[in-house]
Structure formats: C-alpha cells, structure tokens
Amino acid sequence: MGRILVVDDHDSLRKGLVRALGNAGHDTEEAANGTAAIERLQDSQFDVVLTDLRMGGADGMDVLRTARKLQPNAAVILMTAFGSIHTAVEAMKIGAVDFVQKPFEIEEMELKIEKAIEIRHLKYQVDYLRTAQQDIYDFDRIVGASGALQQVLSIVKKVARSNSTILIRGETGTGKELIAGSIHHNSLRASKAFVKVNCAALQENLLESELFGHEKGAFTSADKQRIGRFEQADGGTLFLDEVGDMSANTQAKILRVLQEHEFERLGGTRTLRVDVRIIAATNRNLSQMVAEGKFREDLFYRLNVVSVEMPPLRDRKDDIGALAEFFVRRYATELKKKVDGIQPDALKVLMRHNWPGNIRELENVIERAVLLTDATVISISDLQIGDQQSASGSEKVPAIKIPPTGIALEEIERQAVLEALRMSNWVQKDAAELLSISPRVMNYKIKILNIEIPRSRRTLEPVAS
C-alpha cells in the first residue's frame, strides 16, 4: 500500500476519496488547493499524488510540476473535468502517469492507483539493479595500482564518454572484457544494452542471422523472426570479442556495417539503421596479421581508432598482492569459508610465477586455494602452481641448458641473476634468496655483471654498499 496525497478544492469529493482510499489500506493526506499541496510536497514524501486539474490559485499543472521536481519518483494522476482533455494530454507530456475524467467510479481510481504504485516499485528495482551493475564496472573497482594499469585507465576514462571505436589488445586473461564493460557502463550509453559477440565462435553459415537477424521463413529452420546483435545493441555498445579470429568473409561483412551503419535482416527488405558504439578486443597481433594478409587493413583502421593495450600480469607484479587479496575475499564469501589472507611465503611464490594465463589464472589459483585450504590463511601448499617444485627444490631437473656451442660461465651467471631479479620484481633481497646468496653478494654481482636496474625500480630498493 502507498502514501497518497489527495488534492481537490471540492470538499465532499476530496473527503470521499480520502475515506475510500483509507479503507483500501492506503495512508492518505489531503490538500484543499494547489498551494497547500505544494507545501505538503515540500515536507513529505508520497508514492502517488492525486490532483484535480482546475483549482483556484496554484492549479493541478503547478502541483504536477512541483512533484516532478521535488519527488520525481512519485506518480501523479490528474482528475479532469469534461472538456479538458487537451490539458490532460499536455500533463502526460510533462510526466503525469495517468488521468481520470470526472465523474468516475471509486473502483476505477483504486485500480489506477494500484497500477501506479506497482510501476513505481518496478522502477525502483530497475534503478537499483542499474546502479548495482554499474558498481561492478566502476573504474575504481578495477584492482591494480601499478603504473601500467593506471596508464590504461587514464586513457579509458578519457574516451569512455565519447563514441570512439576502441580496440583493446592484450594476452588472454588480462581483463579485456572487464575494461570493455567498464567503458560502456561509464559512457552516455550506460542505460542501453552492452551486447557481446564472440567472433571466434561465429559459425559461417549462421553469421548473418546472428549479427543482422532474420525474418520468419528466411530459410528452412527460421520458424520465427530473430533480432540480430547489431539491432539489440542499438543506442548501446557492441563488444566484438576475439576480432582477430574472423574469416575473411566475416571480416568483409562486419566492415560493411561499420562503414554504412546499415543492414537488412536476412530475408527482409527493409534497411535498418543503427546507432552502435563498437569496442573490439583481441589477443592477436592485428598489425602483424595485416602485414601477413590475414586481416583486412581497412577493417583494422576502422577498429583501431583508440587503442588500449592491457599489460600482462608479469609486467605488473606490483598488482599481484592486491589482486590476490581481492580474489581471496571474493571466493571466501562465495564459498562461505573463513579465509582472510595469504602467507608471505605463498605471496612470494605468486610474485615469482610467470602467469601465462594472467589474471584469470591468478583468479583460478586463488579460488582453488580457498576451496582446498583448512586454514584461515593460504599457504604455499594450497597454491598448487607449476613453480612450486622449483620453489621447494624437490625436482632434479637441470636449472640451465648449455647450448652445444658452449657458453661463458659469466654469461650464465648474468642470466641467472637477471632472471632472479625479474622473478622477484627487482627486489634484490628476494632475488638473493632465490639464488641462495646474501643480499650483499647480490648487490656485488649486479655491479660486476653490469646489470641495469629498470629506472622505475631504482628508488624502491636503496642498496647498502
């Protein structure tokens, strides 16, 4: 039931309505003229405002305008005398949800009020879901403080609200889809659809129907009309995932829509125009594919308007800790387990791993660890990643390979020191530990072997000499 404001200068009608609506379980208030109604709207919230159109002083239209401004979620229903249909139509344009012509049956009014309350309730739910969904895609919720990721985010924030086509490149599992979703949800198109198409999975023979839809009877199995992806995305964003995996034929068809913004449904005669923003993603090297003649150059230039490169996880080791903690929290909640952290040793193993599967791989490793662990903190044995054996030194595999042409011992040493440093995110103390030498010796080796520490790392580790 709802809170209703009844506004009418006709006393007996107003009192009658208040009584009937009160009996039906609503919580009512009354106002004998427009000015009094506007005052009520200023100090109290209503679900429904029921107002007469023609009153002395402030009239129903004034009440409507005030309600729209102060309480945009309140449903306004107008009561009009015979002959004022024209004004009622005007009122609907300003945002009244309904109108009733006098005289009316009280049951009719009750029905309209119930409907208005239900619609209002649905609207709340939609608003709630929309903000909840947006929250997932909020740029601030993308985990990672590393320079590499922040650089990506700064580009993306700048272009999100434009209509520019964006090409997101990066290895598998680096967060391409997450970024694409964030761009859409932070664009002016956020209230419209974000439609995904996996280009690698498009079957050649169903391609056109998938992208452009078809009319009933367009081909033997077309028993009903189908709306294609381009049409679904009208006003919103179309995410073309794995664009590097399209056949030449598919590339040509996609190019045509991108150039002309129009197409026909299969078996249809009407040409449809759509307003769609394109975001494409691929883990392939498209410019190399263009050079090799495997990807159309014209399509490449259409897609590569703004280009975003997702850094691989091994180049942003600084983010591993935060991401791992984030996934521990997520899976502890999801799996209802009391796990709240990672042991420092285990974190070190995570930092040393090479992460060919990037963030998705890290996510899977953590999910499994949270599931398997009996403790509240994840330890090395819960992690089960490939590097563990070498970390615990249990396997007797030779750590180096000597080429048949031979190699200088010093070169091997150099490579070993470099690799240890890389694995330790250039923290010398950790690299020393990996090679079982003291930090002092490590520091000496770096100097003697002429190893250059990347500029961004120099200030991190002031080394005692």
Ligand X SMILES: Nc1ncnc2c1ncn2[C@@H]1O[C@H](COP(=O)(O)OP(=O)(O)OP(=O)(O)O)[C@@H](O)[C@H]1O
Residues forming the site for ligand X (CB under 6 A):
142-144, 170, 172-178, 283, 326, 359-360, 363
Which of 95, 4, 118 lies closest to 51 in space, CA to CA? 4
Determine if 309 is a binding residue for Mg ion (CB under 5 A).
no
Rounded to the nearest whole angstrom, what is the least distance from the CB of residue 355 to ligand X in the complex? 12
Q: What is the nearest approach in angstroms of ligand X to the Cβ of residue 391?
A: 24
CB 50 within 8 A of CB 7: yes
Burial class (CB in 10 A: 0-12, 13-18, 19+), 127: exposed
Q: Which is nearer to ligand X, 152 or 432 (CB)?
A: 152
Tell the smallest beta-carbon distance from residue 209 to Mg ion (Å): 23
Give 201 or 399: the residue with its C-beta nearer to ligand X: 201
Beta bridge partners of 226: 214
The footprint of Mg ion on residues 156-195 (CB under 5 A) is: 177
By CB under 5 A, the count of residues binding Mg ion is 1
Nearest distance in Å: CB 374, ligand X: 26
Per the structure block, which two tokens stand in for 301? 């230039």
Nearer to ligand X, 7 or 152 (CB): 152
CA 156 – CA 166 distance, rounded (Å):
9
CB nearer to Mg ion: pick between 110 and 177: 177
**Residues 77 and 116: beta-carbon distance below 8 Å:** yes
Give the bridge partners for 30, in sequence order: 6
In the block, residue with structure tokens 């011992």: 409
| Distances, alpha carbon 202 to alpha carbons 101, 121, 242, 260, 457, in Å | 55, 40, 10, 22, 45
| 414-433 residues near Mg ion, rule: CB under 5 A | none
Closest residue to bound ligand X by CB? 175
Identity of the residue, 144 or 213, whose beta carbon is nearer to Mg ion in the bound complex: 144
CB 134 to ligand X: min, Å: 15
Task: State in angstroms the smallest separation of the CB of 281 from Mg ion.
Answer: 6
The backbone region for 384, taken as left when phi is positive above 0, alpha when psi lies in -120 to 50, beta otherwise, is left
- Joined tokens for residue 327: 């996934």
**Interaction partner, residue 174 (ligand X, Mg ion, none; CB < 5-8 Å by kind):** ligand X
Residue 143 vs 391, nearer CB to ligand X:
143
Question: Which residues of the shown chain bind Mg ion in the complex (CB under 5 A)?
Answer: 177
